[in-house]
Structures are given as structure tokens and as C-alpha cells.
Amino acid sequence: MTTELFSPLLLRSGQVLRNRIAKAAMEENMAGAGQLPDERTLTLYRRWAAGGAGLLITGNVMVHAEALTAPSGVVLDEHSPLKPFAAWAEAGKSGGAVMWMQLNHPGRQVASGMPGVVWGPSDVGVSLGRHSGRFGRPTAMTPRQIEETVTRFAVTAHRAERAGFDGVEIHAAHGYLLSQFLSPLVNKRTDQWGGSLENRARMLLHVVHAVRSAVPPSFAVAVKLNSADFQRGGFDTDDARQVIGMLEPLGVDLVELSGGSYESPAMTGRPADDSTRAREAYFLDLAKDLVGTSPLPLMLTGGITRRVTAERVLYNGVAVVGMGTALTLTPDLPERWRNHREADRLMEPVTWSDKALAAVASMARVRHQMRRLARGRDTRPGTSPLLALLSERRKQRRALRRYRAWLAGTRNTTNP
């Protein structure tokens, strides 16, 4: 029997999603003072909450104050005040959706010039040709740093639960730290954390186990996983199949499938192979391959903008349809679909020949739309990607100055 888009989904934690539509995580890059969510973030999530989705997943929240994807990232660690996060959870749940927090550590994907640490499973840097200098050079993590990072994920999950979130999603995709450990191209370790897939998956499994142990059974725990990295010799669909099997005994509720990394930015609609370029549901073929063997419900994200595509995803056995850009342009798209209407705002893809720069410009343009929503305005899909990129860089330079000052003060306070 075909799953209906607006039918509920019962998860193993007992949590119920009211429909099969999720607002997937997109990095907002809107942290206020102290790397905390502020009123802009609350306004943005109230817009999404009123739009009719069954699940809202926040942009990635950093578990380590010294390792951020960008200087305007949100941090939730043992020292963060919970009140701003409680307000964020309340805003997200105000329309009846379930609200999850995405947890992340960037590993080696930290911009050069950022203070703090640039870590990876090995000292293999991000390779982007002439853009490689955008990222810091990583140092290989020690076993102690690995264990301390596992603990950080658990601490953040516990505090998210205390703040009123309904669940967390552990980010192990898009080339961030846990994805780096999974990748044979990045993880060159010869100890228990590297080598075989079982060893490369060990950090993710330890994180999931620690998080699940730190929260009550009714609190949802999900994982975001690449269906493939789209790099020759990298993490592939068969690896993903095996990792999903490893996650099942650990009490995971849902696995979200995406793909790519900064080195091969498939998640922005410009994958490395022509067969999946410029179409909706970028990773559906890979997801169909995984659905048949997956012991866990799957969520698929990437390029879905129309109801007919969402229904095709469900028809192929996927349990939840995730959308990012589409809900940024049209926050009430689920309600429109319920009333048999479609979006009237679409954004043309960035087709620059420089793929790495095009991916960055695509993300900058989406964040520009999120900032408009956060100010209570309507979106402007026709925004120039070049202007959005230049604006983003100005904002990040200002944010970097604030982050440097905050981090220096935090270190002086917490590490006397």
C-alpha cells in the first residue's frame, strides 16, 4: 500500500510525526551574542512551524566551541545557557511539528583563519584545487580527543533534551567529522579508529551509543548519512548499507540520506556525475537501493520541490521527505500541498563552471533567503548569487571578530 504524504509516522521512540514532510537541516549562520540563537532564529522557525511540516530539524549546532563550520555558528555545550535554546525549541514546536536539533563537529572542514582547532581522523586536508586554502590544515586526532568529542555529542544531546527539543540528529554526512572517519580517502588511521569499515564507523557508533544513553527512550535519535560521497574510492552505497545495519541495534529512530561533501558538493545539486545532475530527488536512485535492506526508516533530502516528486519518493519506500531550499523559498509549502497547490517561487541553479565556488554561492543565496524570513520579509528567489556571496563574506568577517573575542573570553573563564 502506498504511503500517503499526510499520514503519520510512528518512530521506535514512540514519537509520532504528523506527516511525512520534514524541514531538513540548513546551516542558518545567524548566531547572536555568545554563539546563541536569538530573536531572528526564533522568527525564522515560527515561520516554518506555521507551514505544516511534520518535523523541523535545526541547522547544525556545534558540540565543540573551538570547532565551528563558520564564525556565526550556534554552540551548545556544558557552559551554554539553556534559556535561548528553550525558546528555540518552543518556536519550532509552536505549530504542532516535532523539533529536532542537529548535532555536528566540522572536523577538518573549518575555514582557514578561524581560531580554535582543525581536527580530522588523519592530517589529510580538504582538496579543492585553487580553493584548498579556504580550509585550515588538519591535525590527526589523538584517541583521547576522539573520546572527548564523543562525550561532547552526548552532553549536547542531553542539554537539548533539557531545553525541550524532541530529538537530535547526529550529522555524519557532507564531509564533516563523523563522515571523515567513515571515508577511506580521509581516514588513514591504523589504530582501532581506521582501516576496515567497522573501524571507520566506530566513532559514529560510539557517538550514537553515548547520545542514546544520555537521553530518555522517548527522545528521538536520528543520523544523517551520505548515501555516497561521490568520490572515487570513497564511502559508497554498499558502505552506507552496512552502516545502517550497524546503527539499528543502537536505538536509532531514523536515518536521513544525503550525499557529497565540499570536495564533491552533490547536496547542492551539482554532483560529480552527470547522471544525477539537475533533477529533483538527487539521491533517489541510491535510496531505492538502500530501502530494500534497511532495518530503519529512511528520510531522503536533496532537490525535492514538487508534491509529485515527494510522492514518488514515498512510493519507493522512503518514510520521510526532507526539504531545505524549497521550504526556505516557500515556508508554507506543506500546507500548499495539502490544499493541492504548488510553490510559486523557484530559484535557478548556480551554473558557474567553478563547482566549488558555485556550491558556496548556492548556500550563500539560501542563507540570504533565511535572513529575509528571519526579518519577517518575503523571500526573493531572483537574488544574484554573486551579491549573496559577497554579502555573506562581509557578514562572516564581522562574525569572525565577534567569535574571536567570545572564544578568548570563554577560554579565560573555563580554562583558568
pLDDT in tens, 233-290: 778 899 999 999 999 999 999 999 987 665 555 455 544 444 433 457 778 888 888 9
Lowest mean pLDDT among 59-63, 172-176, 189-193: 172-176
Its sign, for the CA torsion 211, 217, 219, 220, is positive
Residue partners of 48: CB distance under 8 A and separation at least 6? 23, 56, 92, 97, 327, 331
Q: Residue 406 falls within a domain, yes or no?
A: no
Interval 323-342 mean pLDDT: 96
* 256: in domain: yes
CATH number for the domain spanning 226: value is 3.20.20.70
At residue 2 the predicted structure's pLDDT band, cuts being 50, 70 and 90, is: low
| pLDDT band, residue 348 (cuts 50/70/90) | confident
Residue 352 is predicted with a pLDDT of: 92
| pTM of the entire predicted model | 0.93
**Is residue 370 one of the residues assigned to a domain?**
no
For residue 65, the Cα-to-chain-centroid distance in whole angstroms is 17
Query: Running DSSP on this structure, what letter comes out for residue 2?
Result: P
Asked if residue 196 belongs to a domain, the reply is yes
| 223 three-class SS | strand
Count of domains observed in the chain: 1
Judge whether 151 lies within some domain.
yes
Distance CA 197, CA 182 (A): 7
Q: Kind of pairing, strands 9-10 and 16-17?
A: antiparallel
Q: Which of 24, 13, 56, 10 is nearest to 220 (CA)?
A: 13
Cα(123)–Cα(183) distance, integer angstroms: 13
**Structural domain includes residue 258:** yes
Domain that includes residue 329, residue range: 9-348
